[in-house]
């Protein structure tokens, strides 16, 4: 079964819009756990635009599932990650101008910093993942980096339609297969929603999906429990045996 990890950042985005104490991303995470989420993901950015340091500490103290912390290679953020107690770390690129993470990590260009950071995080007992595009050269560099996981960036797939989306899906299929052939374990995420998640859930070898904004948006209308249950149902339906064999659609 593909694991569902819920990203709680956008609950904090709503809170920070008014600098209020609510809605609380930690309480939202606990509700997601109760509804069946397999883990919680968050990203404390250097500009603290949504999740705050105190949120991270409270998440670690209160949630019972796996905590996955998205983290840039900035020294300050790596130090925060090392003290966080998270069980998993996803290393991501980060710029102040972007609305959300816009592309994968340049693993080839970041070899030096990754060679220092990956062992530090692993020594704290964390599973390390690299958030990268479905690029075979970057995946080869990831395999050489010592990180056990990659998280395939599905944003281009999510933002296209028709034949272009099918081409992006095929690119992700090749990337997942190549990654596994090089000994990497594979997760996926970014831009996934209730309508586009099924083909990604069916990618052979994908272990975990990280989904946030679409679930926060759905919860506005149906509540947290239903948003989680409906996403789990979409993933489970995608994994049921198909009536006819053939390529992933």
How far, in Å, CA of 167 to CA of 165, rounded?
5
The whole-angstrom distance between residue 207's C-alpha and the CA centroid of its chain comes to 11
> Taking a C-beta distance cutoff of 8 angstroms, is the pair 80, 56 a contact?
yes
Active-site hit among 10, 50, 153, 190: 190
What values do phi and psi take at 3, rounded to 5?
Answer: -80, 145
Residue 70 is among the residues annotated as catalytic for this protein: yes
DSSP string, 124-184: TT-EEEEEE-S-HHHHHHHHHHT-SEEEEE-HHHHT--HHHHHHHHHHHHHHHHHHHHTT-
Q: Give CA–CA dist 35/32, Å, rounded.
A: 5
Chain mean position to CA 194: 16
Identify the CA nearest to 48 among candidates 27, 69, 77, 86: 77
Would residue 43 show up in a list of annotated catalytic residues for this protein?
Answer: yes
CB atoms inside a 10 Å sphere around CB 5:
23
Give one word for 3, left, alpha or beta, with left for phi > 0 and alpha for psi -120 to 50. Answer: beta
Phi, psi of 176 (to 5 degrees): -60, -40
Name the active-site residue from 70, 94, 151, 208: 70
CA separation for the pair 76, 59 (Å, rounded): 19
Active-site pick, 10, 43, 50, 153: 43
The set of catalytic residues is: 43, 70, 190
């Amino acid at each position: 079964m593909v694991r569902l990890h819920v990203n709680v950042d956008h609950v904090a985005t709503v809170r920070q819009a008014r600098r209020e104490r609510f809605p609380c991303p930690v309480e939202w995470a606990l509700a997601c756990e109760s509804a069946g989420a397999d883990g919680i993901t968050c990203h404390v950015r250097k500009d603290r635009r949504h999740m705050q340091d105190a949120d991270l500490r409270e998440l670690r103290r209160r949630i019972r599932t796996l905590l996955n912390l998205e983290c840039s290679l900035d020294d300050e953020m790596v130090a925060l990650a090392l003290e966080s107690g998270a069980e998993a770390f996803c290393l991501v690129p980060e710029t102040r101008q972007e609305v959300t993470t816009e592309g994968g990590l340049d693993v080839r260009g970041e070899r030096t910093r990754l060679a220092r950071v990956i062992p530090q995080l692993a020594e704290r007992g964390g599973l390390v993942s690299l958030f990268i595009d479905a690029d075979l050269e970057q995946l080869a560099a990831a395999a050489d980096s010592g990180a056990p996981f990659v998280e395939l960036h599905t944003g281009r797939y999510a933002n296209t339609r028709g034949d272009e989306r099918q081409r992006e899906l095929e690119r992700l299929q090749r990337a997942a297969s190549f990654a596994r052939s090089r000994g990497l374990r594979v997760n996926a995420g970014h831009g996934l929603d209730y309508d586009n998640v099924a083909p990604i859930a069916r990618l052979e070898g994908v272990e975990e999906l990280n989904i946030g904004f679409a679930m926060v948006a759905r919860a506005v209308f149906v509540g947290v429990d239903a948003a989680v249950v409906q996403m789990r149902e979409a993933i489970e339906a995608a994994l049921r045996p198909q009536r006819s064999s053939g390529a992933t659609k």
